[in-house]
Chains A and B, each alone.
Chain A
Amino acid sequence: MVVRSLGGGELEERVSAGVSDSVEGSVDDALWINSSKVAEVAGFMKSDQRLDFNFLNSVSAVDYIDHFEIVYHLTSLNKQHTAIVKTRLNGRDALSLPSVYHVWRGADFQEREIWDLMGIRFEGHPNLKRIMLWEGFEGHPLRKDYL
């Protein structure tokens, strides 16, 4: 296995040193961060010499009824390691968090998709509109309460 996955503890140590008040905790394989600091943490993780996460694999949103989880899968093509960064959004209405579009262009369509299907706004995304469904569609179908 050439690519190594960084543990949550290792990430926490590094990220909390770089961006203050951003880390909420860590588990074995993932780092939990504050949802308002997503863009800053993303910028730090990309620019930091040791982390160097230049490739965004995927952005996923999971609906847990009382809260939403946004999961970022990251890879460093130079250092050859991967990481999972998670953040939590409480509530169900008027959800928003900062966009990482300006850090990774690859977030463009995925953030639009999450807005379209999950109804989470990404502040700072230049073109946040529906992607799979048509403009004027009611609701966000991938939510658990959409039947």
Chain B
Amino acid sequence: MTIRTEPMTVNIGPQHPSTHGVFRLRVTFDGEEILEVEPIFGYLHRGTEKLAEERNYTQIVTLTDRLDYVSSMINNQAYCLAVEELLGVEVPQRAKYLRTLTAELQRVASHLMGIGFFLQDLGTLGTPLMYAFRSRERILDLFEMLCGARITVSYMRPGGVFFDAPVDFWPALDQFLKDFEAEYNEIQQLILENEIVMVRTRGVALLPLDLAINASVSGPSLRASGLAWDWRKMAPYDAYDRMEFDVPIATGGDNYDRFWVRIQEIHQSIRIVKQCIEQIEPGPTRADVPLVLRPPAGAEAYGRVEASKGELGFYLVSDGGISPYRMKIRSPSLMNLTVTEHLLVGWKLADMIVTLGSLDINLGEVDR
């Protein structure tokens, strides 16, 4: 007897606990297996690029916070680098170090979220997630000491950073670094070599390197496919040219590798933070820039950084006015989603959720 079956179309999202925001996937299933998948987004589209044309250069910093809201420091940095390139401003040394330091702390926070939610998607009832949150809270507390905000920091400005770090920031940072080692070890012990994590993620949703490059995948997802491409190394900005760190890569390109690369990158980020603390010297934290910035007409700049999700770029065009003529955001999360269909088709429903988690997308950035 043959059983009559038919494919079933399910909308995963936009209200789904594991799509990391208001993201929707229209998936056609054959039983549990995925036949077709179509990502649909735009639910969080706020028109940042249009808004930027109405605001002056300093005000736009606050808009960038809201792109990838779990790594706002890095967004600030990318934007400020682009504006500085437009203006031709040299940033003071101390500001460079402060930027590098906060960006790396933010990368740790963002990767912790990435790892935590990845494991949450694997079904761990939140234990590793809560461990990750514990450390992330400490980082956010440090940001609060720096600029009074925890998520939407707006700490950096074109020409430097807004405030120098308060005196009690440095002991608090030292204390955090000391505690973080033990806290992070707990997460790794709990989960890194867990048999079920291995079985669920290894060899699943393979991303071959040539496809990753062709589809403009960047960041940890690209490095997990076997290419050591990191803009911090390839085109060092701020103080990265004076930092010593490795670029962790994996060769498999599966879900486990993407997860593993993030785990290792946290170690490298902590290394960079420690070097920043050693090397930083007193000095001014903001270049002498006018209150209202007016880059020369016709100037263009593409400022790019290695954000926690991949290459984050700001393409700015100036017409000589107080606000950019055009601001284009090259968001890594959106680019990394290009390969969704390739990654998901043929795998099962449970793998789909985990694969999305391993890409570590952020809908604030995808939809902008």
Contacts and interface: CB of A to CB of B under 8 A. Distances in A.
Given A1-B236, A58-B315, A106 B338 contact: yes
Interface residues of B, number: 35
B235 A1 contact: yes
B317 A62 contact: yes
Contacts of B47: 141-142
A84 B194 CA distance: 46
Given A62-B326, A77-B227, A132-B42, A109 B213 contact: no
A106 B214 contact: yes
A73 B330 contact: yes
A80 B234 CA distance: 8
A131 B315 contact: no
Contacts of A62: 317, 325-326, 328
A39 interface: no
B227 A73 contact: no
B330 A58 contact: yes
Nearest to B40: A131
Interface string A74-107: 0001001000100000000000000000001111
Main secondary structure of the interface of B (DSSP, over half): mixed
A109 B215 CA distance: 10
B53 to A, nearest CB: 8
A57 B313 contact: yes
Nearest to B217: A106
A40 interface: no
Given A3-B234, A54-B213, A133-B45, A63 B326 contact: yes
Contact of A60 (B211, B234, B315, B368): B315
A58 B229 CA distance: 17
B177 interface: no
B216 to A, nearest CB: 3
Given A60-B315, A106-B335, A108-B338, A77 B45 contact: no
Contacts of A117: 49
Which of the listed residues A1, A55, A73, A130 has the most CB atoms from chain B within 10 Å of its own CB?
A55
B216 A55 contact: yes
B70 interface: no
A112 B235 CA distance: 29
Given A60-B328, A62-B317, A133-B45, A105 B216 contact: yes
Contacts of B217: 106
Contacts, number: 85
Given A1-B236, A3-B234, A73-B302, A57 B45 contact: no
B229 A77 contact: yes
A142 B50 contact: yes
A141 B51 CA distance: 11
B315 A71 contact: yes
B304 interface: yes
A61 B211 CA distance: 25
Given A55-B216, A60-B328, A132 B45 contact: yes
B41 interface: yes
B41 A106 contact: no
Contact of B211 (A105, A107, A130, A131): A105
A56 interface: yes
B213 to A, nearest CB: 5
B367 interface: yes
Contacts of B49: 117, 142
Nearest to A134: B42
A125 to B, nearest CB: 13
11 contacts: A3-B235, A58-B328, A60-B326, A73-B330, A77-B227, A84-B302, A104-B216, A105-B215, A108-B215, A141-B47, A142-B49
Given A54-B214, A60-B328, A106-B335, 20 more contacts: A1-B236, A2-B234, A57-B313, A57-B330, A58-B302, A58-B313, A58-B330, A60-B315, A62-B328, A63-B326, A73-B302, A77-B213, A77-B227, A104-B214, A104-B215, A105-B214, A106-B216, A109-B337, A141-B47, A142-B47
Chain A to chain B: the 9 pairs with minimum beta-carbon distance, closest first? A106-B216, A58-B330, A60-B328, A105-B215, A132-B42, A132-B45, A3-B235, A62-B326, A3-B234
